[in-house]
Amino acid sequence: MQLTVISITAMPFPLAYTASMTTFSKADRIAWLQGPSGHCDVVPDGSSAPWMLVLLGAPGVGKGTQAALLHERLGSCHLSTGDVFRHAGTRPECDQSPAMREAMAYMLRGELVPDSTVWELVRERKACLHCRGGFILDGFPRTLAQAESLQTLMVREGIALTAVVSYELPPAEIVARLAGRRTCEKCKAVYHVTERPPKSAGRCDHCDGKLFQREDDRPESVKVRLETYDRSTAPLISYYEKMGLLVRVAAIGTADEICARTIPELEPRRLKGFAEKLWVAAENRRDT
Ligand code: AMP
């Protein structure tokens, strides 16, 4: 498309991001974790073309780790619906709404929380979709109904996704990853008992917090989560492919290798999105 040429010459920001070029302060995500009552103290730096990403992938492919790395390297805020549920679970029971208590029961069984509950939670946090640093949605959407609701909301809010990354891995590898995954109870850093062990057994390298196995990483929950993924979430791959947004990334190798493989795949998407914005702006100017 001719527009690509215009956008390259007019681009007001660096075309390529690398970890060494850009450093961002870690966003505290309070508005996302707490909902409308919470306000972020640390907001990502602004960008003229913030990344707006959705990460897809079966449980255990490392979406959460990739979201954290992408946040570090691209600056966009890491928005995980699973983190919202886990955060609610740390609050005293009297502070939890009945819907949130019900959601946590689904989560512990490895089942999906009903669409209506998840949508209510995302809808009331829609200001986070306007975060000046952009966003990385991790674990949402997980069903076609959620994807369609998100799409309708984004059109209404005048925002568009830059890309949807699908992390792909064979099922046997996924099961091995989930069984060995351990999380720090304090800083939430993620380890693996054989692939990425901590320096001192059972303790976090960063904050010395105790490592634990997530309830939903236990074998009975893992089986349900993988079946649920195939049935409910895998159809989103073709949904976003048809929209021209899908980027497939092999989730093999170290987390850094996977991230380094992801970013070059994303760059042309942002370029395309930016070109489209310029084109719409030029058309609007011509019409007035
Ligand atoms: P995650 O950390 O993304 O693996 O999410 C942990 C659990 O939270 C999932 O197994 C579900 O029970 C629940 N959950 C998180 N996000 C969603 C969603 N978008 N739709 C339904 N359930 C969700």
What is the per-residue pLDDT across 130-162, written as a single tens digit (0 to 9) for each? Answer: 988 899 999 999 999 999 999 999 999 999 999
* Helix or strand (DSSP H, E) at 184: strand 181-184
Residues of the chain with pLDDT under 70: 1-26, 48, 273-277, 280, 287-288
CB-based contacts of 219, cutoff 8 Å, min separation 6 = 179
CA distance 249 to 162: 16
Please indicate whether residue 218 is annotated as part of the active site. Answer: no
Q: What is the pLDDT of residues 221-234, one digit of tens each?
A: 888 889 999 999 99
CATH placement of domain 24-170+230-252: 3.40.50.300
The pTM (predicted TM-score) of the whole model is 0.81
**H-state helical runs in 12-125:** 30-34, 63-74, 81-89, 98-109, 115-123
Identify which of 29, 79, 84, 85 to mutate to test ligand 1's pocket (most ligand atoms within 8 A of the CB): 85
Q: Where are the domains of the chain?
A: 24-170+230-252
Mean pLDDT, the chain, rounded, equals 84
CB atoms within 10 A of CB 115: 16
pLDDT of residue 44: 73
Q: Does the annotation count 63 as an active-site position?
A: yes
Res 20: pLDDT: 34
Question: Residue with structure tokens 């809808």?
Answer: 123
Of ligand 1's atoms, which has the minimum distance to the CA of residue 110? Answer: 10
Ligand 1 atom closest to Cα of 85? 8
Choosing from 123, 142, 146, 225 the residue with most ligand 1 atoms within 8 A of its CB, the one to mutate for a pocket test is 142
pLDDT of residue 288: 66
Q: Respond yes or no on whether the N-terminal peptide bond of residue 141 is cis (omega within 30° of 0).
A: yes
Which tokens go with 159?
A: 């925002």
C-alpha separations of 264 from 14, 74, 116, 164, 267 in Å = 13, 12, 36, 14, 5
> What is the C-alpha to C-alpha distance for residues 287 and 126, in angstroms, rounded to an integer?
31
- Reference 52, options 75, 36, 33, 81; nearest CA is 75
Q: Phi and psi at residue 173, in whole multiples of 5°?
A: -65, -40
Residue type, 271: L
What whole-number distance in Å separates Cα of residue 122 and Cα of residue 117? 9
Q: Which of 48, 45, 44, 46 is nearest to 13 (CA)?
A: 48
State yes or no: is 225 an active-site residue: yes
Report the distance separating Cα 222 and Cα 239, nearest Å.
25
Question: What's the pLDDT at 21?
Answer: 38
| 142 assigned to active site | yes
